[in-house]
Amino acid sequence: MSFLNSYIYYIGAFGLILIGLYIILVKHNLIKVIIGLGVLDTGVNLFLISVGYVNKGTAPIFSKPGIGSEHMVDAVPQALVLTAIVIGVAVLALALSLAIRLYQHYGTLNLRKVREQRW
């Protein structure tokens, strides 16, 4: 039980990453592949945040003068994830726009039927 308590965030984060990878590898529909990319992105962000967590942690903000710094979580992963979320949104939008163009060009979103995309 203590194992689960201490590793549940890592398990959840890498569960999301593996699910996203599986979707990207197996699905034929381009929209589903992009959804898999989003799930993978979320998993990586969750993993970075959970690496920086400290037990009984508080946000690293000295909002009142008396707050001590003993239980503050690591600020560096939070700073990385903060920008990664916004960039993730922009990259997903770019991928969706490419999917729109692909559909207009080939008339299908199925990657099996797009000749250059088959593997």
Partner 1 sequence: MRRAVAILLLIIVALGISISLEKIPFGTLKTKVGKYYINEGREETGAVNIVTAVVVNYRGFDTLGEVTVLFIAAIGLGAVLRAGVGEGTKKTESASLVLYTGCRLLFPLILVFGTYIFIHGHLTPGGGFQGGAIIASGFLLIYLGCRERRISRTASNLAESLGGMVFVLIGLLGLVFGSYFLLNFLPKGTANTLFSAGIIPIIYVAIGFKVGSELASIIDNLIEESQ
The distance of closest approach from Cβ of residue 1 to partner 1 in the complex, given in angstroms and rounded to an integer, is 14
Question: DSSP letters along 75-108, please?
Answer: HHHHHHHHHHHHHHHHHHHHHHHHHHHHHHHHS-
31 binds partner 1 (CB under 8 A): no
Options 12, 14, 106, 108; binder of partner 1; rule CB under 8 A: 14
Binding to partner 1, residues 44-83 (CB under 8 A): 50-55, 57, 59-63, 65, 69, 72-76, 78-79, 82-83
What is the token pair recorded at 70? 């003993």
Binding to partner 1, residues 78-117 (CB under 8 A): 78-79, 82-83, 85-87, 89-91, 93-94, 96-98, 100-101, 104
- Burial class from Cβ neighbours inside 10 Å (0-12, 13-18, 19+) for residue 86 reads exposed
